């Protein structure tokens, strides 16, 4: 694993502690986003909790701000290496984004060849949207609708947050906290006035991200202990109760308020949960530190970026099967949306295929896309460092060693 950490990507590797429980929590939230996007009928579709699953993206934003501040704030403030930081973030998120985008483009080309231009590159999958996806500017209010690999809007927004954070820490570090507060207030006011709820993506997604990211930064720099302190063993029951309370609070909030204007408070609810679980003091944290949970956290970025493609292909297969056999496989939701599953059993089968397909795809993309992308970034950084050392040596009149 690399030591460039944050947000959806990779395992968290904080400066002085691991936050393994947050790894596991992030993986679970990634799966909840998959279920939210899965177009299946029945109990899942009718559940307010799952229908408001878009809110778990705000947990990622808060988490990203927390771990980025924890891992990079001090080094950025001391070394002023903003370019290295941003390059590291780009090599962490862009390879998988580009790979998945290529898969979506490949499928559109397949449609173009097999069905003609009228079926391909339409709507949100047009050329203009493709350019913005390549540039990762598709959450900046330049598009009217999500397209291509639609969950990637949040990665676009996070890149902006990374840049803003680095710029402020390197140039005006004393203004960091006031500017973070300004981002939070601006997000509540602007998104509340323009959208009514926090559910904005290509419109004000960038501001939604800055809002959650800023809150995560504040939690780390203001509320988190400045030195690593272990939770006393005799407080395990207290922390277990706190963790259970945090889980219940999140579940109730998402279920009851996720579709209302009070959804704008989601980053604060998730910030509380993050603060509690970061202490890793209770039994719930112990479960989140288990191998299955931490592995899910490890591949969570892949889970997030592969699931839309998996969902589309499951829908394609279901359409072909329904056409060939005449079976009733689809149903219609109350909002007119076509859903997988004419029966509860079919819906659960479709959801299982989507989840399992996403996990298999994520294991592959983690191994063959994410890790090589990180390795490439490290090699380029090391090559640049060697070149700089050679330049300094020659400028100083020294001789080169075999290592150089």
> 3-state class of 9 per DSSP?
strand
What is the per-residue pLDDT across 210-258, written as a single tens digit (0 to 9) for each? 999 999 999 999 988 765 555 565 577 899 999 999 999 999 999 999 9
Q: Where are the domains of the chain?
A: 20-227+235-390
pTM of the model: 0.89
Task: Quote the pLDDT of residue 391.
Answer: 58
pLDDT at 15: 42
pLDDT at 393: 60
pLDDT in tens, 123-168: 888 899 999 999 999 999 888 888 899 999 999 999 999 999 999 9
> CA 181 to CA 183: how far, in whole Å?
5
What b-and-e string marks burial along 293-323, b requiring 16 or more CB atoms within 10 Å of the CB?
A: bbbbbbbbbbbbbbbbbbbebbbeebeeeee
- Closest listed residue to residue 94, CA positions, set 21, 149, 27: 149
The label of the residue with tokens 């291509």 reads: 148
Residues 145 and 203: their CA atoms lie apart, in Å, by 8
- Position 106 scores a pLDDT of 95
Per-residue model confidence as pLDDT tens digits over 105-123: 999 999 888 888 777 788 8
Q: Which of 5, 42, 31 is nearest to 345 (CA)?
A: 42
Mean pLDDT score of the chain: 88
Q: Give the model confidence (pLDDT) of 13-24 as tens digits.
A: 334 466 889 999
Q: Which H or E element spans position 314? A: helix 300-325
pLDDT tens, residue by residue, 362-391: 999 999 999 999 999 888 877 776 765 665
pLDDT at 125: 87
Q: Which residue reads 């097999």 in tokens?
A: 114
- 10 — pLDDT class (breaks 50, 70, 90): very low
């Amino acid at each position: 694993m690399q030591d460039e950490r944050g947000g959806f990507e990779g395992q968290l590797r904080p400066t002085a502690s691991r936050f393994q429980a947050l790894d596991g929590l992030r993986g679970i939230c990634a799966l909840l986003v998959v279920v939210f996007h899965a177009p299946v009928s029945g109990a899942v579709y009718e559940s307010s909790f799952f229908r408001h699953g878009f809110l778990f993206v705000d947990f990622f934003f808060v988490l990203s701000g927390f771990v980025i501040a924890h891992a990079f704030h001090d080094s950025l403030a001391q070394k002023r290496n903003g370019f290295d930081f941003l390059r590291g973030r780009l090599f962490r998120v862009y390879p998988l984004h580009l790979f998945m985008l290529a898969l979506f483009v490949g499928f559109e080309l397949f449609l173009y060849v097999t069905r003609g231009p009228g079926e391909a590159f339409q709507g949100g999958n047009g050329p203009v949207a493709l350019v913005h996806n390549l540039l990762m500017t598709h959450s900046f209010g330049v598009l009217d609708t999500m397209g291509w690999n639609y969950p990637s809007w949040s990665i676009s927004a996070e890149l902006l947050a990374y840049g803003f954070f680095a710029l402020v820490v390197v140039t005006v570090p004393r203004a960091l906290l006031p500017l973070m507060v300004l981002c939070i207030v601006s997000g509540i006011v602007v998104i509340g006035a323009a959208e009514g709820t926090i559910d904005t993506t290509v419109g004000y997604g960038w501001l939604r991200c800055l809002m959650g990211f800023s809150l995560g930064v504040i939690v780390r720099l203001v509320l988190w202990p400045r030195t690593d302190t272990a939770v006393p063993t005799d407080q395990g029951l207290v922390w277990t109760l706190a963790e259970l309370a945090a889980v219940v609070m999140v579940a109730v909030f998402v279920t009851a308020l996720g579709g209302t204007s009070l959804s704008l408070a989601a980053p604060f609810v998730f910030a509380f949960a993050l603060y509690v679980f970061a202490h890793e003091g209770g039994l719930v944290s112990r479960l989140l530190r288990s191998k299955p949970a931490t592995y899910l956290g490890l591949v969570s970025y892949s889970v997030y970026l592969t699931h839309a493609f998996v969902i589309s292909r499951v829908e394609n297969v279901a359409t072909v099967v329904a056409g060939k056999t005449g079976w009733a496989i689809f149903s219609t939701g109350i909002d007119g949306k076509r859903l997988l599953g004419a029966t509860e059993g079919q819906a659960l089968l479709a959801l299982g295929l989507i989840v399992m397909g996403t996990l298999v795809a994520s294991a592959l993309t983690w191994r063959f896309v994410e890790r090589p992308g990180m390795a490439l970034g490290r090699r380029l950084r090391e090559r640049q460092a060697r070149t700089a050392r050679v330049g300094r040596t020659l400028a100083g009149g020294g001789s080169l060693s075999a290592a150089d």
